[in-house]
Amino acid sequence: MENTKTFDDFGLSANTLSAIKAKGFEEPTDIQALTIPVMLRDDTNIISQAQTGTGKTAAFGLPLIEMVNTKAKNVQALILVPTRELANQVSEEINSLKGDRDLRIVPIYGGQSIDLQLRRLKQGIHIVVGTPGRVIDHIKRRTLKLGGIEHLILDEADEMLNMGFIDDIEEIMKHTNPEKRTLLFSATIPPRIKDLARKYMNGYEFITVKKKPLTTKLTQQIYYEIKASDKFEALCRIIDMESDFYGLVFCRTKNDADQVANHLIDRGYDAEALHGDISQAQRERTLAKFKKQRTHILVATDVAARGIDVNNLTHVINYALPQDPESYVHRIGRTGRAGNQGTAITFITPSEYKRLMFIQRMAKADIKKKKLPGVDEVIKAKKEKIQDDLATILEGTLDKKYYNWAKQLLEDKSPTEVVAALLNYSFEEDLNPETYNNINDTRSKGNPLDKQGKTRLFIALGKKDKLNSKKLIELIRSRVAIKPKQINDIQVLDKFSFVTVPFNMAEQIVGSFRQRGGRPLITHAKGH
Integer Cα distance of 125 and 4 in angstroms: 36
CA distances from 322 to 94, 272, 344, 360, 464 (A): 17, 20, 12, 12, 34
- The CATH code of the domain that includes 126 is 3.40.50.300
Q: Does 369 share its domain with 413? A: no
Integer Cα distance of 392 and 390 in angstroms: 5
Domain boundary among the residues 184, 208, 232 is at: 208
Q: Does 131 share its domain with 235? A: no
Q: Count other C-beta atoms under 10 Å from residue 371's C-beta.
A: 7
Integer Cα distance of 18 and 527 in angstroms: 50
Domain assignment of residue 443, yes or no? no
Domain assignment of residue 447, yes or no? no
Cα-Cα-Cα-Cα dihedral of 284, 289, 291, 293, to 10°? -170
Per-residue pLDDT of the chain (528 residues; tens, 9 = 90+): 455 688 999 999 999 999 888 877 778 888 999 999 999 999 999 999 876 667 889 999 999 999 999 998 899 999 999 888 788 889 988 998 998 899 999 999 888 888 888 888 888 899 999 999 999 999 999 999 999 999 999 998 888 887 788 899 999 999 999 999 999 998 888 888 888 888 888 889 999 877 655 555 667 899 999 998 899 999 999 999 988 899 999 998 888 999 999 989 888 899 999 987 888 788 888 988 998 899 999 999 876 776 576 778 899 999 999 877 877 887 887 776 555 678 999 999 988 898 899 888 888 888 999 999 988 998 999 899 889 888 888 888 888 898 899 999 999 899 999 999 888 888 877 887 877 777 765 554 444 444 445 778 889 999 999 999 889 999 999 999 888 878 888 888 888 998 988 877 888 898 888 765 567 788 887 644
For residue 504, what pLDDT is reported? 75
Q: Does 40 share its domain with 182? A: yes
pLDDT in tens, 195-226: 888 888 888 999 987 765 555 566 789 999 99
pTM for the structure as a whole = 0.52
- The CATH code of the domain that includes 507 is 3.30.70.330
H/E segment holding residue 81: none
Domain assignment of residue 57, yes or no? yes
Q: Does 106 share its domain with 155? A: yes
Q: Does 143 share its domain with 228? A: no
Q: Does 300 share its domain with 407? A: no
Domain assignment of residue 214, yes or no? no
Domain boundary among the residues 175, 208, 241 is at: 208
Let me know how long the chain is: 528
- How far the first Cα of the chain sits from its last, in Å, is 56
For residue 506, what pLDDT is reported? 85
Integer Cα distance of 360 and 337 in angstroms: 21
Q: Does 320 share its domain with 429? A: no
Angle at 497 between CA 495 and CA 499, to 5 degrees: 175
CB 261 within 8 A of CB 272: yes
Domain assignment of residue 513, yes or no? yes
CA distances from 279 to 14, 17, 258, 275 (A): 21, 19, 14, 9
For residue 447, what pLDDT is reported? 44
Integer Cα distance of 238 and 228 in angstroms: 16
Backbone φ/ψ region at 205: left (φ over 0), alpha (ψ -120 to 50), beta: beta
Q: Does 361 share its domain with 409? A: no
For residue 163, what pLDDT is reported? 78
Q: Does 100 share its domain with 169? A: yes
Number of separate domains in the chain: 4
Integer Cα distance of 500 and 237 in angstroms: 17
Integer Cα distance of 113 and 121 in angstroms: 13
- The β-bridge partners of 129 are 79, 107
Of 276, 342, 519, 466, which is closest to residue 510 (Cα–Cα)? 519
DSSP state at residue 449: B
Give the strands of the sheet with 45-49, arranged side by side: 105-108, 127-130, 77-80, 151-154, 181-186, 45-49, 204-208
Q: Does 190 share its domain with 301? A: no
Of 391, 426, 354, which is closest to residue 163 (Cα–Cα)? 354
Q: Count other C-beta atoms under 10 Å from residue 17's C-beta.
A: 17
Residue 518 phi, psi dihedral angles, 5° rounding: 75, -175
Domain assignment of residue 274, yes or no? yes
Angle at 99 between CA 248 and CA 7, to 5 degrees: 75
Domain assignment of residue 1, yes or no? no
Residue 488, domain extent = 454-524
Between helix 231-241 and helix 375-395 the angle, nearest 10°, is 40
Q: Does 392 share its domain with 289? A: no
Domain assignment of residue 448, yes or no? no
For residue 188, what pLDDT is reported? 83
Q: Does 353 share its domain with 299? A: yes
Domain boundary among the residues 177, 208, 239 is at: 208
pLDDT in tens, 5-21: 889 999 999 999 998 88
Question: Which residues are within 8 A (CB) of 15 and not within 5 positions of it... i.e. 6 or more apart?
Answer: 99, 100, 101
